Amino acid sequence: MIKVILIDDEPLARSIVKEYLLHYPEIEIIQECNDGFEGVKAITQYNPDLIFLDIQMPKINGFEMLELLENPPAIIFTTAFDEYALKAFEAHAVDYLLKPFNKERFDKAMQKCLPELTDRGGVAKENNSTSALLETISHTPPQSQRIVVKLNNKIKIIPFQEIQYIGAEGDYVMIYTAEGNYLKNKTMAFFENTLDPNQFVRTHRSYILNIQLVTRLEAYEKDSHVAILKTGARVPVSKSGYTKLKVVLGI
């Protein structure tokens, strides 16, 4: 059996997918979710093969939900209208259904993804395009003001201006905020390119700093400095980072 989860905040929109799926006896719908929070929980719990995912949903949207998953399953996006998303779908050849869609269009999408589902080798390929899609999407306006993280099964939305600083942690980054520290599977380069350069400066290979929190800069060893934040945290500043910091701070 192929396990499927439907994630959409409109019950009627789910019902139409359910209706079309009746013609696929090999498919079992194991859960329906009203939002991304339920989605993450159900996916972690049931580990489905395929999800139907709406994009505009309460609190966190479909893309932000995907970011929280370790190993996203195969995805068919369902959306009514989202110019940024459509561009990204086209760019990464991801399956999507534009609402309203008819049975023919639905079958086409299924025929494309069913072989890949039965042959598990295809899933890895799918994941690559998903992460590339997420990378593209996270630079578009609706996403570009906040980041969604998960800690101990609790989902937290962090507006960018609440970030104090970011430190590299292997393949991940650690986001430091007043309410706690959160690991996120994104790169330093991603944050350097996405965050407002007038507020966030990459002061070090492994650190990005919110300059509004800097109270003073101290010399530290030769050629390097350390920034002291209002919170008392000490963040390393490299030689080139110091030059950048001086420009943004206007000193």
CB of 139 to other proteins, least distance (A): 17
Q: How far apart are CA 79 and CA 14, in angstroms?
A: 12
CB of 83 to other proteins, least distance (A): 9
| Length in residues, the chain | 251
Contact 248, 202 (CB under 8 A): no
CA proximity to 186, closest of 236, 140, 147, 155: 147
Q: Is 232 left (phi over 0), alpha (psi -120 to 50) or beta?
A: left
Binding to other proteins by CB under 8 A, coded x per residue (else -) over 132-171, reads -------------x-----------x-x-xx---------
- Of 8-16, 88-96, 209-217, 222-230, the window that binds other proteins (rule: CB under 8 A) is 8-16
Size of the site for other proteins (CB under 8 A): 27
Q: How far apart are CA 151 and CA 5, in angstroms?
A: 23
Q: Which of 4, 5, 7, 13 binds other proteins (CB under 8 A)?
A: 13
Q: Which of 34, 131, 206, 224 binds other proteins (CB under 8 A)?
A: 34
Q: DSSP string of 1-47?
A: -EEEEEE-S-HHHHHHHHHHHTT-TTEEEEEEESSHHHHHHHHHHH-
CB of 5 to other proteins, least distance (A): 18
For residue 81, state whether it binds other proteins (rule: CB under 8 A).
Answer: yes
Q: How far apart are CA 47 and CA 81, in angstroms?
A: 28
For residue 180, state whether it binds other proteins (rule: CB under 8 A).
Answer: no
For residue 212, state whether it binds other proteins (rule: CB under 8 A).
Answer: no
Q: Which residues bind other proteins (CB under 8 A)?
A: 9-13, 15-16, 19, 34-35, 37, 56-59, 80-82, 98-100, 102, 145, 157, 159, 161-162
